[in-house]
Structure 1
Amino acid sequence: MTASNRSAELSNVLPETAATQVPLRKLQRSMGARHLIMIALGGVIGSGLFLSSGYTIHQAGPLGAIIAYGIGAVVVYLVMACLGELAVAYPVSGAFHIYAARSISPATGFTTAWLYWLCWVVAIGSEFTAAGILMQRWFPGVDVWVWCLIFAAVLFGINAISARVFGETEFWFSMIKVAAIVALIVLGGAAIFGFSPFSTVHHAPVFFSNFNTPHGLFPNGIGGILVTSLAVFYAFSGSELIGVAAGETKDPARNIPRALRSTVLRLVIFFIGAIAVIAAILPYKHAGLTNSPFVDVFDYVGIPYAGDVMNFVIITALLSAGNSGLFSCARMLFSLAREGHGPRVFAKLTRRGIPLVALSVSMVGGLASLISSVIAAETVYLVLVSIAGFAVVVVWMSIVASQFFHRRKFIQAGGDLKTLPYRTPLYPLVPILAFVLLFISLVAIAFDPTQIAALYFGVPFTAACYLFFWLRYGRKSKATGDAPLVMSAEDAEELDESTTA
């Protein structure tokens, strides 16, 4: 097929409302595998590990926390295995919402996009607030809102320059967090066996004696592990950012699978390794009583100025997560506009291939979320947080369901599995198992009083998205349903051009 014929075919994929409205520009494929890995790690490794891991140990017990994170790691692997096939088959920006639109229905893609956008908008606001509070350790005279505006301006500037600048920044942000985790695992692991070269106090080997608590291996029973598992699913959210960045990745057929495999492996090592070390050194009842168990472990092994070091690392982690979240929000709005299911102005790109309008609206949304956390914490912000927590699991469910239906359509169309650059293993077991586990986690929320609000607000919001789509675009609206089941990076770039031209 010639380039001109392929462009003509791709231009028929989307509705006419998305065509011929904005300048002929496209997203730039400027990020490699190392950028993707660090973007995913940047979205995942944040306050959940550095601040909340102690609570997890306190709730489930030392061994129970490791089991809970192990369950979470299995689910992440299943979701990433499904995402890999989709991202390589259709490497476009805002990826997994388009997968849902093509493989399930346009309304599902629309709903997935808005759920994910809202999830990160809420996260952006909370990351700014938390970072501003931590800055008061060093600058108590500066109000939190001042730091929030400074951080917002910095992250907006990073995202507005180019995708490569974003990727490089996120790479180094994530490197700081990874260095802190590796230091904890290595130095804390040595301290477990009695080696603490930096400490002036000689600590006897503790081995894993803390695992056998006065109340047994599972002090709060199996229920404590199950409730913690729900929180762990949320702690691993952000790994799917690799799919969002698919449209700006060089050689996606090679780099996306590499990034997915490396990300899952590193998450397993970092999360489970860090939890194991913390649980071995800190008594489980003490682990959830301080701001950061990392500070306690670094104090134990004799790291000077442990509090200040971890304060810097945690601020970096928060800004890294906010950076990834802002990137994701902008690409979701851009993708919706390109599909014809959002304001066309969101599809406008700068000369450097940045969806600046979508980026600006996402930043405004993040700041609005921040303001609501101050003036309407018990009403508006509660609703936003509840929907955001619900969205994580629902988006993952849409990814695995999209892979299931995409593979089935591919086979029914006579496709040869050998031609797929990356294949989800053990199909259909992997997507089915992932969907079932995620669905069980949603059902289990109903039995946890602290999380049930996610269902109260998340389910009606999802229904409202479907209803709005059907009223606005019709139940028979088509998005990318007629696109090729597998696209090369060149096809995806031509699709970008034909739908933003």
Structure 2
Amino acid sequence: MAENENLSRGLKNRHVQLLAIGGAIGTGLFLGSGRSIHLAGPSILFAYMITGVICFFVMRALGELLLSNLQYRSFVDFVREYLGNGAAFITGWTYWFCWISLAMADVTAAGLYIQYWFPDIAQWVPSLIILIILLLMNLTAVKLFGEMEFWFALIKVIAIVSLIAIGLIMVFKVFSTDVGVSSFTNLWTHGGWFPNGAGGFVLSFQMVVFAFTGIELVGLTAGETENPEHVVPQAINNIPIRIILFYIGALFVIMSIYPWNSISPDKSPFVQVFAAVGIGAAATIVNFVVLTSAASACNSGIFSTSRMVYSLAKENNAPAAMRNLTVNHVPANATIFSAIVILISVILNYIMPEGVFVLITSISTFCFIFIWAMIVICHLKYRKKNPALAAKSKFKMPLYPVINYIILAFFAFVLVVLAFNEETRVALFVTPVWFMVLGVIYKIMKEKEKNQEDSQSKLA
């Protein structure tokens, strides 16, 4: 294995474009949208719109930073440059934890989805098989990772486009359902746009923000993308269209077919729509889609965490062995390390209750907000520190610096909202412990390095 080589630029334009879509479409849309609709009613469309706009500007900040220096392997590199090595250490390992926790939850969910078809198989068996397959594919070449994500994302896109097409046909033909007729008027004739008042609308942001986690994955692929100066801006600029189509479009159609208060919070609204049109295998279809969505999330988890550990190792913030590359320019040790940690989820299924995973994903949401905030803060530092370089940028973030402060204010608002939610409130107290532990580890590492340097200087 070579230590001083670079990551391969094996991701093509179509890979990155579908990665951008895959990062913006998760299990939260297919399964969690029913609960968010129940909470906010039709106003959930505004919550997705607002959060989508915020995420777009975060991605514009990320894109401008990455393209300001094509030597950046990930956003940890510019965090180091503008906020210091300590901030880079905490940011890198926090992002690693974000994706590890999501991958642990998703590989567990994938096993449960397969149990739908094979109920006699123990849940951990398919989880383990899926993890091994994804690990082997990630070890082979980055191009294979891109191919897997391309097809995983394509399945999700086909499912959503089919839903929208079927839904629009039902609305225009005034299709009769078990709760009335399909009509756009269903959006405002059952209590208005804000049937649960401002309270329901505000609380819905918790689930909406979680649905967007992973959207920044496109930025992590910059170091392995062919022609990043063309591909990355294209992927980022298309994000608003994808949000309008896949999130707002899908939920708009769903709530036009069924009044919002007739959609079950415990079931996928996709199942209800497909079942209403007479597709008997609706549950099977959606189960297949969410299985690919979970596998996709786990696949992205293995990829992103391995690249993050590799990036940290390059700056001596992770063991040196983690920066070794295979002949295919894949960080094998970092990939295997992350997969082993994800494997713990299979063991946890035996010894810990499901509530632990709810807690882990809640903590992950807090951590993602931290990551996004660091990107925005680094963008502020970059513009102030390098005005000449920023002036040459062909991919400037619009509305700087006002939008930076609006984004940070929005994140503060979301943290307050999460504090009011009983399920996520515990995570608000647990998350600071993670940062304190990282701070202590970093301090110990630096003191050890200093002692070693002192010893060497005395010997000299």
**TM-score under structure 1 normalisation?**
0.84
CA contact (8 A) 1:181 1:274 kept: yes
1:423 aligns with 2:403: no
Residue of structure 2 equivalent to 1:111: 90
Amino acid of the structure 2 residue aligned with 1:323: N
CA contact (8 A) 2:130 2:295 kept: yes
1:27 aligns with 2:3: no
Change in CA separation of 1:373 and 1:93 when aligned onto 2, cut-off 3 Å:
farther
Change in CA separation of 1:367 and 1:140 when aligned onto 2, cut-off 3 Å:
same
Residue of structure 2 equivalent to 1:120: 99
For 2:164 and 2:358, the matched residues in 1 are separated by 36
Q: Where does the alignment leave 5 or more consecutive residues of structure 1 unmatched?
A: 1-20, 478-501
Question: CA shift at 1:88, angstroms?
Answer: 1.1
Q: What SS class does the counterpart of residue 394 from structure 1 fall into?
A: helix
Residue of structure 1 equivalent to 2:305: 329
Which residue of 395, 408, 414 maps to 1:435? Answer: 408
Residue of structure 2 equivalent to 1:59: 39
Q: What SS class does the counterpart of residue 401 from structure 1 fall into?
A: helix
1:80 aligns with 2:33: no
For 2:178 and 2:369, the matched residues in 1 are separated by 45
Amino acid of the structure 1 residue aligned with 2:238: S
Moved more, 299-308 or 73-82: 299-308
Amino acid of the structure 1 residue aligned with 2:171: I
Summarize deviations over 1:163-196 as a string: whole Å, max 9, x none. 1111011111100100000111111122122266
Moved more, 328-337 or 262-271: 262-271
Question: CA shift at 1:367, angstroms?
Answer: 1.4
Amino acid of the structure 2 residue aligned with 1:419: K
Summarize deviations over 1:380-417 as a string: whole Å, max 9, x none. 65653342121111111011111111111112xxx254
Residue of structure 1 equivalent to 2:281: 305
Residue of structure 1 equivalent to 2:428: 455
Change in CA separation of 1:206 and 1:384 when aligned onto 2, cut-off 3 Å:
closer
Amino acid of the structure 2 residue aligned with 1:410: N
Summarize deviations over 1:334-388 as a string: whole Å, max 9, x none. 0000011110111010000111110011111111134335412378656533421
RMSD, matched Cα:
2.4
Describe how 1:209-224 pairs up with structure 2 within 5 A. 209-212=185-188, 214-224=190-200
CA contact (8 A) 2:58 2:375 kept: yes
Question: CA shift at 1:263, angstroms?
Answer: 2.9
1:242 aligns with 2:218: yes
1:288 aligns with 2:264: yes
Question: CA shift at 1:467, angstroms?
Answer: 3.1
Count how many residue pairs are aligned between Structure 1 and Structure 2: 450
Change in CA separation of 1:101 and 1:233 when aligned onto 2, cut-off 3 Å:
same
For 2:409 and 2:431, the matched residues in 1 are separated by 19
For 1:370 and 1:219, the matched residues in 2 are separated by 41
Residue of structure 2 equivalent to 1:18: none
Question: CA shift at 1:289, angstroms?
Answer: 3.8
Question: CA shift at 1:287, angstroms?
Answer: 1.8
For 1:109 and 1:264, the matched residues in 2 are separated by 29
Question: CA shift at 1:310, angstroms?
Answer: 1.4
CA contact (8 A) 2:68 2:389 kept: no
CA contact (8 A) 2:25 2:246 kept: no
Question: CA shift at 1:38, angstroms?
Answer: 1.6
For 2:357 and 2:288, the matched residues in 1 are separated by 27
Residue of structure 1 equivalent to 2:156: 177
For 2:424 and 2:355, the matched residues in 1 are separated by 15
Change in CA separation of 1:94 and 1:123 when aligned onto 2, cut-off 3 Å:
farther
Moved more, 341-350 or 309-318: 309-318
For 1:409 and 1:288, the matched residues in 2 are separated by 51
Question: CA shift at 1:22, angstroms?
Answer: 5.2
Residue of structure 2 equivalent to 1:483: none
Moved more, 236-245 or 31-40: 31-40
Residue of structure 1 equivalent to 2:457: none
For 1:272 and 1:289, the matched residues in 2 are separated by 18
Residue of structure 1 equivalent to 2:205: 229
Amino acid of the structure 2 residue aligned with 1:421: K
Moved more, 173-182 or 421-430: 421-430
Change in CA separation of 1:183 and 1:379 when aligned onto 2, cut-off 3 Å:
closer
Question: CA shift at 1:228, angstroms?
Answer: 0.7
Residue of structure 2 equivalent to 1:158: 137
Describe how 1:126-165 pairs up with structure 2 within 5 A. 126-165=105-144
**TM-score under structure 2 normalisation?**
0.92
For 1:263 and 1:354, the matched residues in 2 are separated by 28
Amino acid of the structure 1 residue aligned with 2:363: I
For 1:65 and 1:177, the matched residues in 2 are separated by 21
CA contact (8 A) 2:66 2:72 kept: no
Identity %: 35
Q: What SS class does the counterpart of residue 28 from structure 1 fall into?
A: coil
Change in CA separation of 1:453 and 1:26 when aligned onto 2, cut-off 3 Å:
same
1:393 aligns with 2:363: no
For 2:355 and 2:207, the matched residues in 1 are separated by 22
Moved more, 446-455 or 138-147: 446-455
CA contact (8 A) 1:194 1:203 kept: no
CA contact (8 A) 1:69 1:272 kept: yes
Summarize deviations over 1:229-260 as a string: whole Å, max 9, x none. 12211111111001111110111111110111
For 2:186 and 2:358, the matched residues in 1 are separated by 37
